[in-house]
Amino acid sequence: MMAKLLLVMIALSSCYCSAQVVQPPSPPKSATPPAAAPSTAAQEYLDAHNQARVEVGVAPLKWSQQLAKTASLQVRYQRDRQNCTFANLTKSIYGGNQLWAGGMAVTPRAAVETWVAEKKFYTYADNSCAPDHRCGVYTQVVWKKSVELGCAQASCSKEEASLTICFYNPPGNEAFPLENANLTTRLVCKFIRSFKSAEIAWQFFSWVTYQPGITHDIYTISRMITKLARHGCVHLVDLLLFKIQREGMKLSFSTIRLVIDFYGFQGLNDVN
């Protein structure tokens, strides 16, 4: 009697369990697709990124739950503690793109497309960006070395806005997409010369300063001074001359002449 009762209960319970498990994978064919499945947004972020990447021949990104979780924590922190403002990602170990949108939530695709829209202001040849634009969000989207992506969005009701953050791993938004393994000072000089804009050259020069395995020498500094002097960047020339003096470096004759010419010109301007 007891044994029979026990048997029935097990059967029931296992029947109940299998009903729960089996039913979802075989829905009627006419069922509406799951609208709010968590992976839908992820797929949309991913697709929008990979579409931009394929256009420039860069391998697709993979979705990372860990990055998505980090992004989710970050947007919620910004919403709850920072009035929905942009996160300070200076110290983040991941690359990050952010989008703040007033008045509404934005779809994942729209968020990514906002970043990709900066593409038209970016010039690949000299890695420059039109004034008042932030091409960095675009270059991060298509950054070759990044392989993983994770994104999240928070809706901030008080501010009537939304904040979207995507994280990328490995990070890839140093100002310059150089393979820096064998960056020589000779190569640095070549690059400085090749940039049309003194500002871009200066950014590059500063970026090199923080690269391991390379130190500016008299050649790179002279090259940079020449560039800055020709573009009238007095303040930065001063800064570099100070560095040369401090480190007891010697300038080439032609650089000295250029600096004298440059200061002479500035001096005349000051007098007039």
Ligand X SMILES: *[C@@H]1O[C@H](CO)[C@@H](O)[C@H](O)[C@H]1NC(C)=O
DSSP tag of 36: S
Distance CA 135, CA 139 (A): 6
Distance of CA 144 to the CA centre of its chain: 12
Minimum CB–partner distance for residue 84 and ligand X (Å)? 9
The residue (of 32 and 182) whose beta carbon lies closer to ligand X is 182
For ligand X, give the closer residue by CB, 13 or 88: 88
Contact predicate 129/199, CB 8 Å: no
State the minimum distance, in angstroms, from the CB of residue 207 to ligand X: 18
Residue 198 falls in which region: left (phi positive, over 0), alpha (psi -120 to 50) or beta: alpha
Q: Which is nearer to ligand X, 2 or 181 (CB)?
A: 181
CB of 180 to ligand X, least distance (A): 9
Q: What φ, ψ does residue 252 adopt, rounded to 5°?
A: -70, 155
**DSSP symbols for 126-151:** TTEE-TT--THHHHHHT-TT--EEEE
The least distance separating ligand X from the CB of residue 183, rounded to whole angstroms, comes to 10
Q: Which is nearer to ligand X, 30 or 215 (CB)?
A: 215
Residues lying near ligand X in the complex (CB under 6 A):
82-83, 88, 90-91, 179, 181-182
Give the SS3 label for residue 200.
Answer: helix
Name which of 65 and 83 has its Cβ closer to ligand X.
83
List residues bridging with 269 in a β-sheet: none
Minimum distance from residue 83 beta carbon to ligand X (Å) = 4
The SS3 call for residue 153 is strand
